[in-house]
Amino acid sequence: MIHIYCGDGKGKTTCAFGLALRAAGRGRKVVIAQFLKSGDSGERDAIAHVPGVTLLPVPEQVKFTFMMNDQEKADASARMRETLQQVSGLVKAGGCGLVVLDECCAAVSTGLLPLAEVLAFLDGAPEDLEVVITGRDPDPALVERADYITEMKKIRHPFDKGVAARKGIEW
């Protein structure tokens, strides 16, 4: 089944990693791929120690797409496409029970990860594979395929009062 965690609120990645922990705790093999994310996150640091979880590498630093020049966008796109191919290979090798495609929605909406490639992955996935896709504004084609859609809605956030993101809480 396909899960989408979307919306403008905090917690999409944390929710996806929570499901990854649950699946790993029940003996499922988990693959986590992150798009438009750097390696500096509490979730990554913790889940890297969980048996049965394959955490694909990410760059140490990632710029916002609006800050990238054309070459940086091309490099990021190539890296994301390669990451999706890695995920596909791991799934085809067998035994994978859950795949997390974190920030896949943003990677698609910015044009860095072709929607057609994501859809091909989803359409070719084994029937018993759970796939979690996170990010804001999921493409309608992803929404159409989803079995679960959970929207995180921001009601209030300290950032609105000028409080910067805090290590261990927001990242």
Measured distance CA(21)–CA(11) in Å, rounded: 15
Q: Where are the domains positioned within the chain?
A: 2-155
Type and span of the H or E element at 134:
strand 130-134
The encoded tokens of residue 89 equal 């290979």
* Distance separating alpha carbons of residues 36 and 39, to the nearest angstrom: 10
What's the whole-number mean pLDDT along residues 67-83? 94
pLDDT at position 129, please?
Answer: 98
| C-alpha gyration radius of the chain | 15
Amino acid 136: pLDDT: 96
What does CATH list as the number for 2-155?
3.40.50.300
pLDDT at 53 over 90: yes
pLDDT at 39 over 90: no
- Tell me the pTM: 0.93
> What is the average per-residue pLDDT within 93-97?
92
Which residues neighbour 87 within 8 Å (Cβ) at sequence distance 6 or greater?
Answer: 31, 33, 56, 99, 101, 121
Strand ranges across the sheet with 29-34: 53-55, 29-34, 96-102, 130-134, 2-6, 148-151
Average model confidence (pLDDT) across the chain: 95
pLDDT band at residue 87 using 50, 70 and 90 as cut-offs: very high
State residue 63's pLDDT score: 85
User: Is 122:108 a contact under the CB 8 Å cutoff?
Assistant: no
Q: What is the pLDDT of residues 99-145, one digit of tens each?
A: 999 999 999 999 999 999 999 999 999 999 999 999 999 999 999 99
pLDDT in tens, 64-73: 888 889 999 9
The pLDDT of residue 80 is above 90: yes
Confidence label for 40 from pLDDT (cuts 50, 70 and 90)? confident
